[in-house]
Amino acid sequence: MNRTLKIAREFHWEMGHRLPFHTSGCANIHGHSYKLWVELEGVCDANGMMMDYGDMKKLIMPIVDEFDHCFLCDASDDTMLPFLKTTGFKYKVVPFNTTAENLVFHFLDRLWDVFDPFDQVSGLRLRLQETDISYAEAERVRKG
Ligand SMILES: [Zn+2]
């Protein structure tokens, strides 16, 4: 019997950012200890396993490593981008405001591409925590 279940693993990284449009604190350069819960929905194989947590880690860590200890910069941030280009600091440019909401959709698109080839996985839910008291969540489910 192919019962559906969910498995999840947590990932962490440190990252700086700012929100240029923000009218108070978040416009300043600051950082967060980000926490991303990656939850897979699907079915198990004959061994009672949907996916090895170690394999999940191997698939996801290259993406996490792109962001770890970088400054995440909105491409339209004309204050930070020229500065970052003159330093050797790690930074990454994205075409959106670096809100938790936009970030969780960014990771959802990237990780959907990663897990789409696995037939046993039928859904992906991400919970991105910027702080201990706030998160943004998004999910995608395989059609048909
Ligand atoms: Zn922030």
Q: What is the CATH number of the domain that holds 96?
A: 3.30.479.10
Distance 103 CA to ligand 1 centre (A): 11
Distance 18 CA to ligand 1 centre (A): 6
Cα dihedral sign, 54-56-57-58: positive
pLDDT (mean) for 27-49: 96
Phi–psi pair at 106, nearest 5 degrees: -60, -50
The count of structural domains within the chain is 1
Cβ within 8 Å of residue 133, ≥6 positions away: none
pTM, two decimal places: 0.94
Which residues constitute the domain of residue 95? Answer: 5-131
Beta bridge partners of 140: 124
Distance 8 CA to ligand 1 centre (A): 25
Distance 68 CA to ligand 1 centre (A): 15
Q: Which pLDDT score, from 0 to 100, does residue 1 have?
A: 61
Distance 135 CA to ligand 1 centre (A): 12
pLDDT (mean) for 98-116: 97
Task: Please check whether residue 90 lies inside any domain of the structure.
Answer: yes
